[in-house]
């Protein structure tokens, strides 16, 4: 074998190895789910605790745990909070859910987090833009990318969410909503028409305010996690 042929053989080997690793990584991730929590001025400290605690409790729920671990390691989670145009922060960075310990660790991180922002405007578009950037740091190639955004108001700061959608800046990501009703102007039609987007996008409404949040976030998680999400996942 000539030196040139040897170099080509080595190059071919490493190319196939890298492609194989990439394919395996893609096949093992069904869902990357980012939770976007509203911490704008309309959300008081008690409501914030309900929102954060409700999510942590939902993740610990036995039905949700079972749904996450249908295919161990196939789900990645991240959580962040958002408020004004320049106010977003990661609460829990991307973590792969390989077993109950990973889920418990993620939930505990939510419990232990201290609110970063408050008494500020509502920049839903900027919050979604921040969430989109987090996917570039995702340590996996996933079949489905989802942002779960919860909030109780309409956008009043920064870029509008529908402007992002119309410009194609939310392409490839499903935006689902959990809307807390009760504020004026009514956020429910706003979320339906201007916020949720992407493949199979949906929203749930907390008609009685934040007290409905814990039950709704559990139902929302189950809807996103249960089959047919994992149908067709390579093994």
Whichever domain contains 195, its CATH number is: 3.40.50.410
Specify if 149 maps to a domain. Answer: yes
Specify if 208 maps to a domain. Answer: yes
Specify if 159 maps to a domain. Answer: yes
Q: Residue 8: what pLDDT? A: 40
Specify if 18 maps to a domain. Answer: no
Q: Residue 110: what pLDDT? A: 95
Specify if 3 maps to a domain. Answer: no
Provide the CB-side half-sphere exposure for 170 (13 A, CA).
27
Number of folded domains that form the chain: 1
> Structural domain of residue 94, as residue ranges?
29-225
Tens of pLDDT along the chain (235 residues) come to: 565 444 444 344 443 433 444 444 444 799 999 999 999 888 888 888 888 999 999 999 999 999 999 999 999 999 999 999 999 999 999 999 999 999 999 999 999 888 888 778 999 999 999 999 999 999 999 999 999 999 989 999 999 999 999 999 999 999 999 999 888 899 999 999 999 999 999 999 999 888 899 999 999 999 999 755 544 443 3
Q: If DSSP codes are grouped into helix, strand and coil, which group holds residue 3? A: helix
Specify if 38 maps to a domain. Answer: yes
Residues 6+ away with beta carbon under 8 Å from 25: 140, 141
Q: Residue 1: what pLDDT? A: 53
The four Cα atoms 111, 219, 178, 207 give a dihedral, to 10 degrees, of -110
Q: Residue 58: what pLDDT? A: 96
Q: Residue 227: what pLDDT? A: 56
Specify if 7 maps to a domain. Answer: no
The dihedral region occupied by 205, where left means phi > 0, alpha psi between -120 and 50, and beta the remainder, is: beta
Specify if 12 maps to a domain. Answer: no
Say if CB 175 and CB 197 are below 8 A apart.
Answer: yes
Q: Residue 146: what pLDDT? A: 97
Closest Cα partner for 40 from 131, 126, 147, 133? 126
């Amino acid at each position: 074998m000539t030196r040139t042929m040897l170099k080509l053989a080595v190059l071919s080997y490493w190319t196939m190895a890298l492609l194989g690793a990439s394919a395996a990584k893609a096949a093992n991730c069904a869902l990357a789910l980012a939770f976007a929590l509203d911490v704008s001025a309309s959300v008081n400290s008690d409501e914030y605790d309900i929102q954060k605690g409700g999510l942590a409790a939902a993740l610990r729920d036995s039905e949700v745990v079972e749904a996450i671990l249908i295919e161990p390691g196939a789900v990645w989670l991240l959580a962040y909070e958002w408020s004004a145009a320049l106010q977003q922060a990661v609460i829990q960075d991307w973590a792969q859910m390989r077993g109950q310990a990973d889920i418990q660790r993620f939930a505990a991180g939510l419990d232990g987090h201290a609110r970063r922002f408050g008494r500020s405007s509502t920049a839903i578009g900027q919050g979604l833009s921040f969430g989109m950037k987090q996917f570039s740091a995702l340590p996996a190639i996933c079949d489905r990318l989802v942002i779960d955004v919860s909030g109780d108001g309409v956008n009043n700061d920064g870029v509008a969410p529908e402007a992002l959608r119309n410009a194609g800046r939310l392409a490839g990501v499903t935006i689902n909503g959990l809307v807390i009703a009760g504020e004026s102007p009514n956020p429910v039609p706003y979320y339906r028409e201007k916020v949720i987007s992407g493949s199979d996008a949906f929203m749930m409404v907390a008609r009685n305010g934040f007290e409905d949040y814990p039950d709704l976030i559990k139902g929302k998680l189950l809807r996103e996690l249960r089959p047919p999400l994992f149908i067709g996942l390579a093994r």
